[in-house]
Structure 1
Amino acid sequence: MIKSQKDFFSGLMFTLVGAAFAWGATSYNIGTGARMGPGYFPLLLGIFLAVLGGCITFYSLIEHTEDGEPVGAFAWRPVVFILGANIVFGILLAGLPRFGIPPMGLIAAIYALVIIAGKAGDTFSLKESVILATVLSVGSYLAFIMLLKLQMPVWPTFITG
């Protein structure tokens, strides 16, 4: 008997996603602990996630809650805004040459990502989003452009020429 629907279905989801990652990692070279291959970390992470999901699922069957914690309605708003923010980020960062949209660069993409994703929550503050986007932009510029020397557009092409 399921005593907590939320825990049961979230544990089941963790178990399935973890098992899928672990299974997918077996198609790569696993290697050993001393010489890790590209599939080593995804395999271990998938196993850990599957075990965690199994524990949560088991816990949902033995731990009694007041109302059984039923699963609520699907939250479409956060899904739409978070996915939309990532799509806009990709389009602004790289552009869409096929449709004549030039790259707008890393800074504009980060600002758009943070502001759009911020709308996914119950409360939205433009001031807080701009502050967060500024911190992320500076950090990303320092990490990716200055330290790692990655070649990507930082500013829109109409600014840099």
Structure 2
Amino acid sequence: MYLRIRERLPDVVAAILTLLIGVFALAESSSYDMGALSNMGPGYFPRMMAIAMLLLGAALLVAALKIGPTSFPATGASVWSMAMICAALIAFALLIERLGLIPAIFTMVFLSTFASQDRNLVRALVLSAATSLFCALLFVYILGLSMKVIVL
């Protein structure tokens, strides 16, 4: 029995951490006005995300206890992959106000695609263009957020 719990411990810990984050977010968002679905208040989205985190944590805990342990390759994470993900996040933070939404998201997605072992320049360009255009369409034109799309 001890061996079975020991094998599943990383999954159980991840599930418990997800549940704790959900509880924390729910407690923090409870002081904000919820509003209604047609007129959302500032607490609506955080509360819904907290509930989603609680449901996800519960599902992860059930899966960790019912299903066998998760196995990962013994090689671990590569330094190159971690560096590319960090570079992508830093590039987004530096470019979002200077150049706008489309160049920042394009650069972030482009850099993060090279964190994979299966690197492909054409796929990275297509994915970056599609993601940045979709985000601009969604956030600026559909949701009406006041963001700069491209700064010339």
Fold match by TM threshold 0.5: yes
Map Cα deviations across residues 73-115 of structure 1 (whole Å, 9 max, x no partner).
Answer: 8746555433431221121221xxxxxxxx2344432331122
Question: Match of 2:122, as an amino acid?
Answer: K
Over alpha carbons, which structure has the higher Rg? 1
Question: Match of 1:119, as an amino acid?
Answer: F
* Aligned position for 2:92: 89
* Aligned position for 2:125: 130
| Aligned: 1:116 with 2:120 | no
SS of 1:88's equivalent? helix
SS of 2:96's equivalent? helix
| Aligned: 1:154 with 2:150 | yes
Alpha-carbon distance, 1:134 to partner: 2.0
* Aligned position for 1:16: 20
Question: Match of 1:115, as an amino acid?
Answer: F
2:9 to 5, 9, 19: 5
Alignment: residue pair count: 145
Alpha-carbon distance, 1:25 to partner: 0.5
- Determine the C-alpha separation between the residues in 2 that align with 1:17 and 1:69: 22
Alpha-carbon distance, 1:153 to partner: 5.6
Question: Match of 2:150, as an amino acid?
Answer: V
After superposition, the CA RMSD in angstroms is 3.3
Gaps of 5+ in 2: none
| Aligned: 1:46 with 2:50 | yes
Gaps of 5+ in 1: 95-102
Q: Percent identity?
A: 25
**Do the aligned residues in 2 keep the contact of 1:19 with 1:50 (CA within 8 Å)?**
yes
Question: Match of 2:85, as an amino acid?
Answer: I
- Determine the C-alpha separation between the residues in 1 that align with 2:145 and 2:43: 27
**Do the aligned residues in 1 keep the contact of 2:140 with 2:149 (CA within 8 Å)?**
no
